[in-house]
Structure 1
Amino acid sequence: MARLDRTSARARPAAPVRAVHLGLGAFHRAHQAVYTAADPDWGIAAYTFRNTELPGLLTEQEGLYSVQVRGDTAPRVEIVDSISRVHRGDDTERWLADLASPEVALVTLTITEAAYRAPDDLAGTALGRLLAGLRRRYETSRAPLSLVPCDNLPGNGAALRSALRSRAQRCGAEFRAWLDEQVSFVDTVVDRITPATTEQDRTTTARLLGLEDRAPVVTEPFGEWLLAGEFRLGRPAWERAGARFVDDLDAYEQRKLWFLNGAHSLLAYTGPALGCGTIDEAVRHPRLSEWVESWWDAAARHATLGPDDLLEYRRRLRRRFASRGLRHHLRQIAADGSQKLPARILPVLRAERRRGRLPGSAVAALAGWLLHLRTHQVRDPRAEELTALAHGPDAPRRALAALDEELAADDELVAAVEDRARELGAAR
């Protein structure tokens, strides 16, 4: 079988690089790169600092890869051609040259929530590399630039601005002034479920495509991209693929974080104890489904968007979660809980406690997280610390204190989490 490349796929030549992406992975390739492919004048130079194999595979395929879209009907495969170049993260000079180029108008980022809370010592971090690239741009062209973070953080553009600004204190007043005046930070809300690709997915892709793709991505039919902010040197025509540009993202950020991501975290931490391994299995479990509905009821009491919008969103989420086309593994969603739970679960929990309510769904999510720390291999920037806190005397309170000191002082909540964790542990 022939290997996928621009000749075998009869694809257009690689477009000039006008965008740079930091954090190349499955989600970027299922989301931002797909939207960018709608504009043939924009090519992406993509950098990954985690996966050392992917740059070589995609370079052999001349930046091409396929997206297998799977829902409740037969899967279909699309070839994406917006990535013009792919580089390892240690290709420092190429990275600096790309960031300095006045032809490059924007940088998109998928660096995970944890990266925005990097230590002040930025050596080897995504923020450190980004700051170095911005300094090179300032020292050379001083051209404007737009930064477009696509991670699940409330106000991710503002969060990125704050993180960079606080770490640029030693870079000189003129550089900081240029950063304030010439670099824009765009807030975004992104949504497209993208599970890890399996060998079976690769086999199916090859059968449907008729070509060997060594870097395929699997995703769902649904996708959403909302953006708010200024683009100093232009942008791709992302709206051709359905992106929407709005004035205020707060209500949409809240809806997505609480309803989709919050339910995902709830299922990721409670599902394994009840014998579930994937989202579609978990949402079909009677008890887990009840917790999800209860969670959505609690979130709706504090959400900004109106009830009609939320009811439609919930209906759509039920269908997406239950789709058997995707095998979205709970262990993948469970990673980085200490970074995700504060944005997904805790705001609703705090609001409920202020009104004297103790939502059982939020208790279940925290209890499941505690059990996860005790019984699973933990993928989290604070894994060693959290695993230690989850064992020993007063473990529920100590683990909660790592997320929120005020909630850890709530004796009723701590007791409820401990009881539910014991119950979930017995169900294993």
Structure 2
Amino acid sequence: MTGYVEPTRPAPRIVHLGLGAFHRAHQVWFTQRGDPSWRIAAFPGRSARLARVLGAQDCRYTLVERGPDGDAFHPMTALVAAYGADRQTELDQLVASPAVKVVTLTITEAGYLLGPDSGIGSANPMLQQEIMALRNGDHPRTAPGRLLKALAARREAGGGPLAIVSCDNVRANGARMGAVLRELACAVDWDLTAWLADNASFVDTVADRITPATTEDDIRLVAAATGHHDRAPVVTEPFAEWVLAGEFPSGRPEWERAGAVVVDDIRPFERRKLRLLNGAHLLLALAGQKRGHHTVAGAMSDPVLVRFVEDYWSTAAKGLPEAGPYQHRLRARFTNTRIRHSLTQIATDAETKLRERIVPLVTELRAGGGDPHPALRVVAAWLSASEIAADSPRACAALDRLAPGWGTNRPLRRALQRAVTDLVQLGDHRSPSKSTEGGIR
């Protein structure tokens, strides 16, 4: 797969790493609505399958906004090229082009190569492997390594400054990507470090839009509604949020026209999303599957889990901007039975997500004299889902992976045991009715 750009369509001005459903429901949607003159070329994280499917249909696809009362179908045309993950040469050429002004990323939390303390992972084995690959002239395998190689090509070509925009559920995501790239550059090409300082701006963002995996039923529905056989539609909720903080030295689309917000300080918005939305999602995913649920809407039909979520929100919402209205919107979004947001999907890589969403909250609550109990239920649910007994040596090791020192912290372990008892008293299974688990009709 070498990508496809129709000759009559404008050349890409944005390059994206992490081609997937969320990118196509979020950044592509904001770009198309904000400024249609900006077009996007995208690369997946690993597989080339989606790039092949999109390439076969000229990178056009249908976005389905699925509200409680019906579906709206939108033809998407801002994505003009899709390449396989192994196409480093094409990535280098695109990023080197002065026509490209912005690079965006949706590479998941794990893609930032963080360490066990959620800091820059100097000891992360993948980071060390990338350093060796770049030194030896081999193709890098991670998003930071691939991007650094492409940025080196931009330096050599005199492509000029650009903005790198991170869109993952990671605190200070832009700053962290910048730190990872600088660490790689320091180990591989010292002169590139200086070039990054002068030419690369790292933008922090909060990106939010619930986007479940596309099903065969969705594909058939789009064909029936539009008359087009689209093998790569995206189904998403009507709600979309994008908050950005940072500089764009070579310009950007007018994303504000689609509802994006540019702020000076991303941190309040970041904490609000990670704690209220993502933290509650993780609680529902880890505890809900034990109760026999499969989707967020299904779990939100369970009064006991709803109580857990409300308890969690009452603790996590303190000090956050407009927390009450935000929670009200979340209740409506979580209970939209027509969005089948899989609990299994949310629970993927739970350990990394806990470090980002729950560990900082628990640490803050304990330091300030607050009650961390509702937040520790998420940790207890993770141990239970991992089949780790809370009073076992395995639990000590698991807790230390989340946050160094937690495994031997007796007051925290006692508080965690109380949260474990709550979950045990729930019982393990429930047989939800089909109506509570959501659907597409």
Relative to the length of structure 1, the TM-score reads 0.89
Secondary structure, counterpart of 2:300 in structure 1: helix
SS in 2 for 1:120: helix
| Secondary structure of the structure 2 residue equivalent to 1:54 | helix
The alignment status of 1:253 with 2:270, answered yes or no, reads yes
The answer on 1:35 being equivalent to 2:37 is: no
Segment drifting more, 403-412 vs 273-282: 403-412
Instruction: Give the Å deviation of 1:419.
Output: 3.3
| Aligned residue type for 1:214 | R
Partner of 1:317: 330
- How far off is 1:334 after superposition? 0.3
Amino acid in the other structure paired with 1:201: D
- 1:262 aligned onto 2:279: yes
CA distance in 2, matches of 1:131, 1:153: 20
2:51 corresponding residue in structure 1: 55
Instruction: List gaps (5 residues or longer) in structure 2.
Output: 114-125, 131-139, 431-441
Given candidates 124, 128, 144, the residue that maps to 1:120 is: 128
User: Residue 44 and residue 390 in structure 1: after superposition, are their counterparts in 2 closer, same or farther (change >3 A)?
Assistant: farther
SS state at 1:168 partner: helix
- Paired residue for 1:377? none
Matched letter for residue 157 of structure 1: G
Measured in 2, the distance between the counterparts of 1:13 and 1:291 equals: 54
Code of the aligned partner of 2:359: L
For the aligned residue pairs, the C-alpha RMSD in angstroms reads: 2.1
Q: Would you say how many aligned residue pairs link Structure 1 and Structure 2?
A: 402
SS in 2 for 1:297: helix
Asked if 1:104 is matched to 2:100, the reply is: yes
User: 1:392 Cα shift?
Assistant: 9.4
Aligned counterpart in structure 2 of residue 45 of structure 1, from 31, 41, 47: 41
- Tell me if structure 2 keeps the 8 A contact 1:367–1:420: no
Q: Distance in 2 between matches of 1:313 and 1:427?
A: 31
Which residue does 2:397 correspond to in 1? 398
* 8 Å CA contact 2:92, 2:149 repeated in 1: yes
Amino acid in the other structure paired with 1:416: R
Give, in whole Å, the separation in 2 of the partners of 1:405 and 1:94. Answer: 41
Could you say what secondary structure the match of 2:83 adopts? Answer: strand
Equivalent position of 1:202 in the other structure: 219
Distance, in Å, in 1 between the alignment partners of 2:27 and 2:300 is 28
Moved more, 344-353 or 176-185: 344-353
Counting only pairs closer than 5 Å after superposition, residues 152-171 of structure 1 correspond to structure 2 as: 152-171=169-188
Matched with 1:363 is 376
Amino acid at match of 2:295: T
Checking the alignment, whether the CA contact within 8 Å between 1:270 and 1:424 is kept in structure 2 is no
* Cα deviation code 1:83-138 (max 9, x no counterpart): 11110011121111011111111100001111111522223111110010011111
Which residue is 2:72 aligned to?
76
- Partner Cα separation in structure 1 for residue 152 and residue 389 of structure 2: 42
Aligned partners of 2:389 and 2:227: how far apart in 1? 50
| Cα deviations by residue, 1:149-204 (Å, 9 ceiling, x for unpaired) | 10011111111111111111134333211100111011111000000111111111
Give a deviation string over 1:224-268, Cα, whole Å, max 9, x none.
Answer: 011111111111121121111111111000101000001000101
The whole-number CA distance in structure 1 between the counterparts of 2:336 and 2:104 is: 29
Structure 1 stretches (4+) deviating beyond 4 angstroms? 355-358, 389-392, 420-428
Instruction: Please tell me whether residue 135 in structure 1 is matched to residue 152 in structure 2.
Output: yes
SS of 1:323 mapped into structure 2 = coil
Structure 1 residues 131 and 424: alpha-carbon distance in aligned structure 2, compared to 1, 3 A threshold: farther
Cα distance, 1:314 vs structure 2 = 0.5
Q: Which moved more, 1:91-100 or 1:47-56?
A: 47-56
Contact 1:96-1:136 within 8 A present in 2 as well: yes
Q: Distance in 1 between matches of 2:215 and 2:389?
A: 32
Report deviation, 1:324.
1.2
1:89 aligned to which of 67, 81, 85: 85
Q: Is the 8 A contact 1:370 1:421 kept in 2?
A: no
- Equivalent residue for 2:288? 271
8 Å CA contact 1:397, 1:414 repeated in 2: no
* Contact preservation (8 Å) 1:143, 1:182: yes
1:242 and 1:355, CA in 2 relative to 1: closer, same or farther beyond 3 A? closer
Question: Given that residues 294 and 343 in structure 2 are in contact (C-alpha distance below 8 angstroms), is that contact kept between their aligned partners in structure 1?
Answer: yes
Structure 1 residues 161-200: aligned runs within 5 Å: 161-200=178-217
Q: Does 1:67 find its partner at 2:43?
A: no
- Structure 1: state its 5+ residue gaps: 375-388
Q: Tell me the CA shift for residue 364 of structure 1.
A: 2.1
TM-score (norm 2): 0.86
Mapping for residues 348-387 of structure 1, pairs under 5 Å: 348-374=361-387
